Structure 1
């Protein structure tokens, strides 16, 4: 039996302040809102890739440090352009664009208002993919 196709992919993360998170992902990152479910907002990141931001309930909100287990990675050939664009938006970067020899990637890091790590990267080798 062949594996059935996947139509799209959504990664969900949680926020204590949905208004601040929505402002960051809509205004700063420029992601178009695809679906507003009230307590969750889903953004189109690329063709069939989505990011869902959901208001955390009390049990989730008390889970300090969970953000450290997540890296939301955006893959693009235009790392430097994203870096310049986000700097103009007032974003502070944890690491500016640099080449990582071990993984053969060019990347930079920033955090969203809830502390989630966002990586913007370009693969420097064609070994991955299809």
Structure 2
């Protein structure tokens, strides 16, 4: 007999560790416009998706080792929006270095682009161009 499945998760937080958390706090709060929902002093937590997903910025205990999570393993933070191109224009206006302009990938049904936050984390702005991606609640 298998154990009953526990209830689904209600929320999710991803914590990013930054050597200069003040620069990261400015980036996520001012540049990306995320709502600061809790400042714990050592950690700032921002809402990313209708208070169901969150991003925490924490003081790093040491320098980051890798810069290429797609090759080395690690985290790529993907923010999903229907207005990828508008975010591209906004971030360019804020002086954010974009790796490449938005590109469509028909084989997987997305349009996206990559950039880095002040701590060097790789971020992606993405739109699903396919009907089978679930709409937000």
Counterpart secondary structure, 2:102 = strand
Point out the more displaced range, 61-70 or 7-16: 61-70
Q: Is the 8 A contact 2:11 2:53 kept in 1?
A: yes
The number of aligned residues is 127
Which structure 1 residue ranges, 5 or more long, are not aligned?
none
Looking at structure 1, the residues matched to 18 and 116 of structure 2 have their Cα atoms a distance apart, in angstroms, of 13
Relative to its length, the structure with more strand (as a share) is 1
Q: Is the 8 A contact 1:14 1:53 kept in 2?
A: yes
Which structure 2 residue ranges, 5 or more long, are not aligned?
none
TM-score, normalised with respect to structure 1: 0.89
Relative to its length, the structure with more helix (as a share) is 1
Residue in 2 aligned with 1:122?
127
Looking at structure 2, the residues matched to 62 and 88 of structure 1 have their Cα atoms a distance apart, in angstroms, of 29
Residue in 1 aligned with 2:65?
64
TM-align CA RMSD: 1.6
Does 1:93 find its partner at 2:98? yes
Residue in 2 aligned with 1:112?
117
Looking at structure 1, the residues matched to 76 and 39 of structure 2 have their Cα atoms a distance apart, in angstroms, of 23
Q: Is the 8 A contact 1:67 1:115 kept in 2?
A: no
TM-score, normalised with respect to structure 2: 0.85
